[in-house]
Amino acid sequence: MIRIILKLSEQFSSFSGMLQAPKGNLEGHRECMQTRLQTLGGEALADYELLEMALHIALPQADTRGLARALLLRFGSFAAIIAAPRRDLLEVRGITPATVDILKVVQAAALRLARADVIDQPVLDNWDRLMNYLTAVLARERVEQCRVLFLDARNRLLADETQARGTVNHTPLYPREVVKRALEHHASGLILVHNHPSGDTTPSRDDIDMTYEVKRASAALSIALHDHVIVGNGCWLSFRREGLL
């Protein structure tokens, strides 16, 4: 993610050189952060400093220190900021649509980096990486969504698709549509995934019933349902490990 922020900054500077802030305390502060980043790595920077570097891309002439701290005060962490809905970000004084665009680019890049660790990989043998990816994608979502991971005969991830979005506590999933997409992907196996915005990963009766419906529909076509994972706030639950599948 740090490399992405620096690359975006370099690209922005290539066509906005006239807009750069003059030399002085502000630029000296930014140069100091960049030097620490290059010599000591991203761990040497606090969350608000990473935010400053990202915000500077959209607001090259502004002192973004106060804005970074305001965002952290509102949302709590760097990860929560880039995952926040656009409308919530725009409520923070000083945030512009262009600023939100930059934050969303950082979020999209972070998710793609996480996805690169699991796509085309045998996910059942790399469970920790898969959970890291799913947590990054779903843990901060404010409404439920159901995703389906489609696997080939060697349990490599072919595709990850959002099948449905719902409310804060319910998302409909239709077994017929899941099986249809599995056939279109020539998948041999499935993993169901959905999130609980409440943070509690305890499966509901509807979660359990829906899982068995998908299992029956997929088994009729020799497609294995390997697991159903519920993602909460910093935690997850596996139906198979809990003996529910």
| Confidence band, pLDDT 50/70/90 cuts, at residue 63 | confident
28 with 71, same domain?
yes
Order of strands across the sheet with 189-195?
Answer: 157-165, 145-151, 189-195, 224-231, 236-238
85 with 42, same domain?
yes
Q: Is 244 domain-assigned? A: no
180 with 199, same domain?
yes
Give me the mean pLDDT over the 93-122 stretch. Answer: 89
Q: Is 87 domain-assigned? A: yes
Give SS3 for 181. helix
pLDDT(151) > 60: yes
pLDDT(74) > 90: yes
How much is the pLDDT for 103? 93
Report the Cα 92 to chain-centroid distance in Å: 22
> Which residues, 6+ apart, have CB-to-CB distance to 100 below 8 Å?
86, 89, 90
How much is the pLDDT for 183? 96
Q: Is 204 domain-assigned? A: yes
Q: Is 243 domain-assigned? A: no
224 with 173, same domain?
yes
Give the other-Cβ count within 10 Å of 225's Cβ.
23
27 with 93, same domain?
yes
Q: Is 129 domain-assigned? A: yes
Q: Which of 113, 141, 171 is the last residue of a domain?
A: 113
Overall domain count for the chain: 2
125 with 233, same domain?
yes
pLDDT per position as a tens digit, 16-57: 332 343 445 666 667 776 777 777 776 767 788 888 888 888
pLDDT per position as a tens digit, 222-234: 999 999 999 998 8
Give me the mean pLDDT over the 187-206 stretch. Answer: 94
80 with 171, same domain?
no
107 with 150, same domain?
no
144 with 97, same domain?
no
93 with 197, same domain?
no
Supply the range of the domain harboring residue 135. Answer: 121-238
66 with 105, same domain?
yes
Q: Which of 95, 113, 131 is the last residue of a domain?
A: 113
Q: Which of 113, 145, 165 is the last residue of a domain?
A: 113
How much is the pLDDT for 168? 54
- Quote the percentage of the chain above a pLDDT of 90: 47
Q: How far apart are CA 198 and CA 44, in angstroms?
A: 33
Kindly report the CATH number assigned to the domain that includes residue 129.
3.40.140.10
170 with 67, same domain?
no
Which pTM was predicted? 0.74
